[in-house]
């Protein structure tokens, strides 16, 4: 390991673990490394910065390209809400969340019109509250959608309503939900 005394971990390929091909679209080197270590595709998106100035549409297009090329599972990561949290930038964080919402809507519409069925999850990887400007270990809200098993709810996507929803104590369950469905 070039920077320290660590060793390269032996990671299981995504396909052998979950039975589907996968990709990660992100500007973050850590996630690109996870993709490489688990034999997932990780496209290079011009202008992807990990900030509010990232190429939002380029990332959406990269996800579409992945699905159109036959990849089964795509993890799209936007770093901007986290970075704005670290900076204590309320307006920036709101703008970033609005951009994530816009991207999610575009991808939902694309999948509705171009697939025989799909599952989609929207969630942050961790909270980064403006008030503390650092990561905290609190639960995060998530949305899970399965086109073959749509469920409606009066809950909204926020921390308050998330406390009323289903709690997943193990974050690895998200991958299982996405690859196997709610009733697996």
In a domain, 80, yes or no: yes
Domain that holds residue 47: 14-178
In a domain, 131, yes or no: yes
In a domain, 25, yes or no: yes
**Residue 108: how many other CB atoms lie within 10 Å:** 15
CB 67 within 8 A of CB 36: no
In a domain, 4, yes or no: no
pLDDT string in tens for the chain (184-residue length): 567 777 778 999 999 999 999 999 999 999 999 999 999 999 999 999 999 999 999 999 999 999 999 999 999 999 999 999 999 999 999 999 999 999 999 999 999 999 888 999 998 989 999 999 999 998 888 888 899 888 888 888 888 888 888 888 888 888 888 888 876 6
pTM above 0.85, yes or no: yes
E-strand ranges in 2-94 read 22-25, 73-76
In a domain, 27, yes or no: yes
Q: How many angstroms separate the CA atoms of 98 and 156, rounded?
A: 15
In a domain, 7, yes or no: no
Residue the block writes with tokens 């990887």 = 125
In a domain, 59, yes or no: yes
**Cβ-based neighbours of 17, under 8 Å, separated by 6 or more:** 38
Number of domains in the chain: 1
Question: Tell me, what CATH number does 86's domain have?
Answer: 3.40.720.10
């Amino acid at each position: 390991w070039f920077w320290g005394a660590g060793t390269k971990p032996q990671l299981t390929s995504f396909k052998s673990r979950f039975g589907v091909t996968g990709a990660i679209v992100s500007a973050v080197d850590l996630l690109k490394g996870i993709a490489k270590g688990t034999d997932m595709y990780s496209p290079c998106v011009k202008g992807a910065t990990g900030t509010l100035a990232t190429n939002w549409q380029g990332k959406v297009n990269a996800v579409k390209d992945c699905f159109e090329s036959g990849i089964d599972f795509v993890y799209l990561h936007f770093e901007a809400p986290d970075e704005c949290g670290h900076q204590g930038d309320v307006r920036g964080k709101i703008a970033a969340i609005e951009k994530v919402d816009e991207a999610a809507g575009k991808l939902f519409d694309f999948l509705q019109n171009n697939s025989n069925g799909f599952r989609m999850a929207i969630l942050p990887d961790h909270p980064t509250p403006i008030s503390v400007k650092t990561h905290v270990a609190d639960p995060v809200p998530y949305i899970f959608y399965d086109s073959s098993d749509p469920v409606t709810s009066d809950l909204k996507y926020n921390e308050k309503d998330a406390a009323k929803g289903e709690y997943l104590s193990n974050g690895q369950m998200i991958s299982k939900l996405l690859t196997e469905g709610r009733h697996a």
